[in-house]
Amino acid sequence: MAANIKGPAIFLAQFAADEAPFNSLSSITAWAASLGYEGIQIPSFDDRLFDLGLASESKAYCDDIKGQCADLGVAITELSTHLQGQLVAVHPAYDSQFDAFAPEQLRGNPSARQEWAVDQLKRAAIASRNLGLDVSVSFTGALAFPYLYPWPQRPAGLIEEAFAELARRWRPILDVYDEHGVDVGYEIHPGEDVFDGATFEMFLDALDGHRRCTINYDPSHFLLQQLNYLDFIDIYHERISAFHVKDAEFNPSGRQGVYSGYQGWTERAGRFRSLGDGQVDFTAIFSKLAQYDYDSWAVLEWECCLKHPEQGAAEGAPFIADHIIRVTEKAFDDFAGGETDHDEIRQMMGLS
């Protein structure tokens, strides 16, 4: 049976705010539904929208949340644990910056912060199952990223040990997800140790191919790295479990290239853009994913250096809807088909 991509859906993290309609799950879901979205990806780290602790302990709470969304014609696509996943592995160089992702009482205490993050992720596995979800999305965190460029020369074994440690931290978490039948779709993203295909393979190898280690495919990060994001689908399609639809552009000059010269977002050679305003070939991406029977959600992640988020959201739903392919169940030349005649086939090739 041919598989169809589901959507359009929207990741709520960039829209949540203290003002209505963005300050509660029911009101922000109603807003998303009014724009034509059929799914929402919930940031589990934003307690204005979702109580992760309660969701991991109460099936009734999860049923109520699902019911509220269903009444508006909207499904929950995945829970996001991006911020908690980041805190599973933090290089000391980033301690002060990533402290903001943790509760205030844990700041300045990296070991307590990590313990909290691990507990959060395990709770998200249980909450996902309580919500009837098979996939969640996250970050891996990073221990090696400050050593991305090989100058000064890296000591032999540094990268190998970083990935071994990353796997040691994630394996027990992934085992909990496995117990509950939920995949973790890692967003492959600069700032994480897993930022391209090669590093994903290193992580997967260190995890001995753990079946719950999957990919949240986001082509914007690949375009900014100048990685072939269509070949990526060919190589890793069996591990792609989630899809962030996000646009970007890369305009190198005589002054800056991939690293973008420490410039602000509007002045960078590589910039995130709203859907349709960048350079990502989404027609080809949706075709590739349809070719490989990707049947999960296409989720808008809005990040744009120029356009207002509400305009980006309003334009995003029809953009995604227009790109979703209804996969055919018949070949275009079926009308000309006929019975197979083995003798005729051999005769056509001049074989006796």
Least confident segment among 106-110, 141-145, 239-243, 340-344: 340-344
Give the whole-angstrom CA distance, residue 170 versus residue 181: 16
185-212 mean pLDDT: 98
Residue pLDDT, tens place only, 273-318: 999 999 999 999 999 999 999 999 999 999 999 999 999 999 999 9
Q: Which of 292, 291, 281 is nearest to 323 (CA)?
A: 281
Quote the pLDDT of residue 344. 87
With a cut of 70, say whether residue 103 has pLDDT above it. yes
As a whole number of angstroms, the longest Cα–Cα distance in the chain is: 84
* Residue 140 structure tokens: 């891996």
Look up tokens 């970083």; give the residue.
162
332 or 313: which leads in pLDDT: 313
88-93 mean pLDDT: 98
Q: Which domains does the chain have, with CATH numbers?
A: 6-348 (3.20.20.150)
Burial class (CB in 10 A: 0-12, 13-18, 19+), 200: buried
Q: Which of 246, 127, 140 is nearest to 184 (CA)?
A: 140
SS3 state at 198: helix
With a cut of 60, say whether residue 185 has pLDDT above it. yes
Quote the pLDDT of residue 242. 98
Percent of the chain exceeding pLDDT 90 equals 93
Residue pLDDT, tens place only, 28-71: 999 999 999 999 999 999 999 999 999 999 999 999 999 999 99
Give me the chain's average pLDDT, please. Answer: 96
Quote the pLDDT of residue 331. 72
DSSP string, 236-282: HGGGEEEEEE-EEEE---SS--TTGGG--GGG-SEEEE-TTTSS--H
Quote the pLDDT of residue 338. 67
In this prediction, residue 334 has a pLDDT band, given cuts at 50, 70 and 90, of low
Contact 203, 139 (CB under 8 A): no
With a cut of 70, say whether residue 248 has pLDDT above it. yes
Contact 39, 6 (CB under 8 A): yes
Q: Which of 29, 43, 34, 35 is nearest to 75 (CA)?
A: 29
- Give yes or no for a cis peptide into 21 (omega within 30° of 0): yes
* Residue 141 structure tokens: 């965190």
SS3 state at 194: coil
* Residue 68 structure tokens: 């509220």
Percent of the chain exceeding pLDDT 70 equals 97
Quote the pLDDT of residue 3. 75
Quote the pLDDT of residue 59. 98
225-230 mean pLDDT: 98
With a cut of 80, say whether residue 220 has pLDDT above it. yes
82-89 mean pLDDT: 98
142 forms beta bridges with: 90
Region of residue 280 (phi > 0: left; psi between -120 and 50: alpha; otherwise: beta): beta
81-100 mean pLDDT: 97
Look up tokens 């002054």; give the residue.
255
Burial class (CB in 10 A: 0-12, 13-18, 19+), 256: middle
183 forms beta bridges with: 135
Give pTM, 2 decimals: 0.95
Q: φ and ψ at 138, to 5 degrees?
A: -160, 180
Which whole-number Å values give the CA distances from 140 to 9, 143, 332, in the listed order? 23, 10, 43
Question: From the centroid of its chain, how far is CA 205?
Answer: 20
- Cβ neighbours of 85 (radius 10 Å): 28
With a cut of 60, say whether residue 1 has pLDDT above it. no
Which whole-number Å values give the CA distances from 334 to 33, 331, 337, in the listed order? 39, 5, 5
- DSSP tag of 336: G
Residue pLDDT, tens place only, 210-219: 999 999 999 9
With a cut of 60, say whether residue 162 has pLDDT above it. yes
